[in-house]
Amino acid sequence: MTGRLPAAWGRLRPTAVVFALALCVRLGYIAADLPVPPQDTPDYDEIARSLLEGRGFVARQNWHGYALRSWRAPFYPFFLAAVYGCCGYSHLAVKLVQALVGSATAVLVYRLAASVRPDAALLAGLLAAAYGPLAAVCTEVMTEAWYVLWTLLCLVLLQPAATASPASGQSGPRVSTRRLIASGCALGVAALTRPVALLLWPALVWCAARRAGRRCLPPVLWVGVAAACTIAPWSIRNYHVHGTLVPIATHGGFIIARSNSDTPAWRQEHGWGIAPEVFAATPSEIERDRQWLHQGLTWIRTHPRAYLRLVLERFVRLWYFLRPEYNFWFATTMPLAVAGMWRLRRSPAFCLPLAYAFLSIAVFSTLLYGSTRFRLPLEPVFIVAAAVAIRDGGQRLGARRMAGLLAAWTLANGALWWRSEVVRALVLRALRWSGLR
């Protein structure tokens, strides 16, 4: 019996092991039924119900009765409508589906790591399966679980196009047109979940151009055209509704205006609310979006010193590890991820994930509001880098010594989590002293 067990385990596919562990962890989070702040859930729920009741893609209840017909990107409300249409109005059903989505995400982390460093792939997959924040988002009726899946799928599919080599006059391993179209479609769906996913395309262009020069143009164009064609039906719908071009959503101007002002929204208790007077003054959803965009960009242009201070503050805020409580997982993983990214900095296979992460961080810090929510879709990239650091550390120091160091580091973070209020007070004092709080 004892002799058969290792052989049986050896026949298991790594992806099956990663998926099974991830599913168990996520079902455990769902069973724990931890409290989750509603955030944007009421909007998504209302739009989903409106779709099922035949009233179209519209939100009114949270906006003083004014109809917002393109305020949210469409994928997640349609997903909720599909679940509610099949199972009735049930957040539990949504969470169970998202548990499967999150488990597939862990498998994609394994696949991404396999394209970067095959010897670290299983470790990366297991880390993603157990990683608390990635499991917790499956219990939230929010876009996170799906958005992380789509962005990772894009990264995995785009890897061959990003790593093409110009050596010997060749463009590297040929990337099939079918794969390029599939990656573009995945990018389009990711953008229809959250428009910021479009940052993947310029990251791809930069990485492919570094490797293949002008020969990268046909592949990246295939990706861009496929993404545009995926988004186009929704853009056409928006044009029919508003009489003007709205590629995805009318939410961007509001976010830029509320993130770039003398009193940005994240510093206010109810900073993201919109007074009814705003709707009364500008009933048009399109005009409000344009006014907000103009307001935000004008403030940036006319307050350069205050803006640069906000950029620094948002950058720090993006990495904050005490919201809403000590993030044990992120605090434990990030130093290892930094070491791994340093080791992978010249790796062609890690170029696209790293470029996407850096470009996202730049946009979150310079235009948006640097929420830790924006950081989560980047954390699978950090997990891959952390797995590489652990693997290399084990090879250099020996498995036993590396395991001891990891255990000590994990226990130290456990102690910090236990005394998180003291840590929070010290961090807040440092931020206030530096003027960043």
Q: Which residues share a beta bridge with 68?
A: 59
Give a yes or no: residue 108 inside a domain.
Answer: yes
What pLDDT is recorded for position 6? 52
> If DSSP states are collapsed to H, E and C, what string results for 213-225?
HHHHHHHHHHHHH
Do 124 and 168 lie in a common domain?
Answer: no
Residue that terminates a domain, selected from 230, 245, 260: 245
Give a yes or no: residue 47 inside a domain.
Answer: yes
What pLDDT is recorded for position 171? 43
What pLDDT is recorded for position 5? 44
**Does the model's pTM come out above 0.85?**
yes
Do 271 and 228 lie in a common domain?
Answer: no
What pLDDT is recorded for position 228? 97
Domain range for 81: 11-134
Q: Which of 192, 147, 149, 29 is nearest to 95 (CA)?
A: 29
> If DSSP states are collapsed to H, E and C, what string results for 45-110?
HHHHHHHHCCCCCCECHHHCCCCECCCCCCHHHHHHHHHHHHHCCCHHHHHHHHHHHHHHHHHHHH
Do 313 and 298 lie in a common domain?
Answer: yes
Joined together, the tokens standing for residue 172 give: 């590297």
Give a yes or no: residue 434 inside a domain.
Answer: yes
183 has a pLDDT exceeding 70: yes
Do 18 and 127 lie in a common domain?
Answer: yes
Do 294 and 398 lie in a common domain?
Answer: yes
40 has a pLDDT exceeding 70: yes
Do 397 and 418 lie in a common domain?
Answer: yes
Task: Look at the chain and report how many structural domains it folds into.
Answer: 3
What is the distance between the alpha carbons of residues 415 and 207, in angstroms, rounded to a whole number?
A: 41
What pLDDT is recorded for position 176? 84
Average pLDDT estimate for 85-102: 95
- Find how far residue 235's CA is from the centre of its chain: 23
Residue that terminates a domain, selected from 210, 245, 280: 245
For tokens 């479609």, what's the residue?
185
Do 317 and 430 lie in a common domain?
Answer: yes
Do 427 and 305 lie in a common domain?
Answer: yes
Give a yes or no: residue 2 inside a domain.
Answer: no
Give a yes or no: residue 5 inside a domain.
Answer: no
Give a yes or no: residue 158 inside a domain.
Answer: yes
**191 touches 197 (CB < 8 A):** yes
Residue that terminates a domain, selected from 134, 156, 174: 134
Give the tens place of pLDDT for each residue, 417-426: 887 787 777 7
Give the tens place of pLDDT for each residue, 121-174: 999 999 999 999 999 999 999 999 999 999 999 999 998 877 765 544 444 456
What pLDDT is recorded for position 154? 94
Give a yes or no: residue 3 inside a domain.
Answer: no
The residues, ordered by sequence, that sit 6+ positions from 372 with a Cβ below 8 Å of its Cβ are: 317, 318, 320, 323, 327
Average pLDDT estimate for 279-302: 94
* pLDDT band with cut points at 50, 70 and 90 for residue 435: low
